[in-house]
A and B are shown apart, each in its own frame.
Chain A
Amino acid sequence: EDKVVQSPLSLVVHEGDTVTLNCSYEVTNFRSLLWYKQEKKAPTFLFMLTSSGIEKKSGRLSSILDKKELFSILNITATQTGDSAVYLCAVEALTGTYKYIFGTGTRLKVLA
């Protein structure tokens, strides 16, 4: 059965800290791994990682994909209170057609 596991489940840090969020997966026919940020409403897209793009960076956020060890990490440096959210990892896999399997998310709280 395809599955995506995120850790830790929750995290509390202070502003300025660096955090690392983990996502491991076991899927057949992997196609891509995506990170989303979910505040109060809709998840918003952060990064997509594929076989041809295993490292992405945008400002204070960066992510890498290890296809051999089947995991990804999302790093946030110099955290701010606005980074407080649930971070979702999703893996796109080909099971009949292309579908996404989501992890349960990591809840990050950044204290001022």
Chain B
Amino acid sequence: NAGVTQTPKFRVLKTGQSMTLLCAQDMNHEYMYWYRQDPGMGLRLIHYSVGEGTTAKGEVPDGYNVSRLKKQNFLLGLESAAPSQTSVYFCASKKERELYEQYFGPGTRLTVT
């Protein structure tokens, strides 16, 4: 039982390049989330999903897109990376809408130059 995994762990992009971050969970959780963590800002919600085939915008969605084609996977895409997207990205999952905690992945450190 690996929990929540993220790929890749580190990435350096040039401005304007695109990439996809992959989050996978093996706990059969319904809810999945993408956050970014910046110094002094705490964790901010980018997008989330309440089930396979659904996605919704969070607090800071601009410049990102997501897809949840399979229940266990939640992909975060950057179509045209900008230096402001330099951050640590965390994926999290939660069993369902009832009172359960979120489980976090190990994070992806992304630098955009």
Contact = CB atoms under 8 A, between A and B. Distances in A.
Interface residues of A, number: 23
Contact of B99 (A31, A88, A97): A31
B103 A45 contact: yes
A104 B42 contact: yes
Contacts of A44: 104
Contact of B45 (A32, A45, A50, A99): A99
Contacts of B41: 104
Q: Secondary structure at chain A's binding surface: helix, strand, loop or mixed?
A: strand
A16 interface: no
B55 to A, nearest CB: 12
Bin chain B's interface residue count: 20 to 34
Contacts of A30: none
B42 A105 contact: yes
Given A31-B99, A48-B99, A98-B97, A103 B42 contact: yes
Contacts of A103: 42
A43 interface: yes
Interface of B: 4, 33, 35, 40-45, 48, 50, 56, 58, 90, 97, 99, 101-107
